[in-house]
Amino acid sequence: MKPRIGFFDFTGCEGCQLTVLNLEDELLELLELVEIVEFREVSSESSEVLDIAFVEGSICRPDEAERLRAIRKKTTTLVALGACADTAGVNALCHFRDLKELRQEVYGGEFPQMMTEPPRALAEVVAVDYRVPGCPIDGREFLSVLQALLVGRPPELPSYSLCVECKLAELPCTFEAGQVCLGPVTRAGCKALCIEAGDRCRGCRGLIDNPRSDPYHRILEEQGLSVEEILQEFRTFNVEGRGKKD
């Protein structure tokens, strides 16, 4: 029997699931190895038992937390798919605003499906076994995580910073152009995609395990950033001290 895998989404833009769907050729090969038993983007089928659940999005309402717990119960392995699921991503910026005010500002009123509590990463509600970081995820990394799980090996993420990949690709450093970059403290794995496209790193893959924050803060200060501006840089994708675990 093929391993049964499912894809689930909570609050997010669904860009990570689209990245999976864009792996058209690889997906066809994948279907020979696994059975996709649940994937709302492409099918209305569902399953009571799963081997691997890939879960996208943050948890922003009590009913979402309930549904996530139900997914946890029926799957052997649960993988957080993308920054919204992994760290609460950009959604976590809502922690700095009054939710009622925000709902009014964005939607002009109250609707039943709206965020009612500050966004949480999946790991703040249930146990998460593995994660695929990034906003959106990197398709190749998703495949390598799935491949590792299928052969019974724990998936590994790069432990070094993005600067390593950026230097290997011989890209010009954004600091030299007077722009701040979170590459020195951000986990590698995206092949410095944003830097190559002329942008800077905003840390969507999360921090490396032991970021040398103090020297990095000094570099940012040398760039003329105030403490508040430095915190703002980190907050885009790495808000600390979010909601408690249930």
Rule CB under 6 A: say whether 23 interacts with ligand SF4.
Answer: no
Which string of b and e fits 62-74 if b means at least 16 CB within 10 Å?
A: eebbeebeebbeb
Minimal CB distance residue for ligand SF4: 183
Nearest CB to ligand SF4, comparing residues 163 and 207: 163
Rule CB under 6 A: say whether 189 interacts with ligand SF4.
Answer: no
**Residue selected from 181, 185, 190, 220 as contacting ligand SF4 according to rule CB under 6 A:** 181
Nearest CB to ligand SF4, comparing residues 53 and 201: 201
Nearest CB to ligand SF4, comparing residues 143 and 171: 171
Q: Rounded to whole angstroms, how far apart are CA atoms 129 and 111?
A: 33
Rule CB under 6 A: say whether 114 interacts with ligand SF4.
Answer: no
**Residue selected from 56, 64, 138, 233 as contacting ligand SF4 according to rule CB under 6 A:** 56
The answer to whether the CB of 201 falls within 8 A of the CB of 236 is no
Q: Which stretch binds ligand SF4 (CB under 6 A): 110-118, 152-160, 164-172, 205-213?
A: 164-172
The answer to whether the CB of 237 falls within 8 A of the CB of 83 is yes
How many C-beta neighbours within 10 Å does residue 111 have? 8
Q: Rounded to whole angstroms, how far apart are CA atoms 208 and 94?
A: 24
Task: Report the nearest approach of ligand SF4 to the CB of residue 151 (Å).
Answer: 26
Task: Report the nearest approach of ligand SF4 to the CB of residue 52 (Å).
Answer: 18
**Residue selected from 6, 82, 189, 203 as contacting ligand SF4 according to rule CB under 6 A:** 82
Q: Rounded to whole angstroms, how far apart are CA atoms 77 and 98?
A: 35
Q: Rounded to whole angstroms, how far apart are CA atoms 153 and 147?
A: 9
Rule CB under 6 A: say whether 175 interacts with ligand SF4.
Answer: yes
Task: Report the nearest approach of ligand SF4 to the CB of residue 88 (Å).
Answer: 9
Rule CB under 6 A: say whether 12 interacts with ligand SF4.
Answer: yes
Q: What is the DSSP letter of 245?
A: P
Distances (CA, A) of 46 to 3, 38, 62, 98, 107: 15, 5, 22, 36, 31
Helix (H) or strand (E) segment spanning residue 228 = helix 227-235
Rule CB under 6 A: say whether 180 interacts with ligand SF4.
Answer: no
**Where do contacts with ligand SF4 occur on this chain (CB under 6 A)?**
12-16, 56-57, 82-84, 89-90, 135-136, 162-163, 166-167, 171, 173-175, 181, 183-184, 192, 195, 201
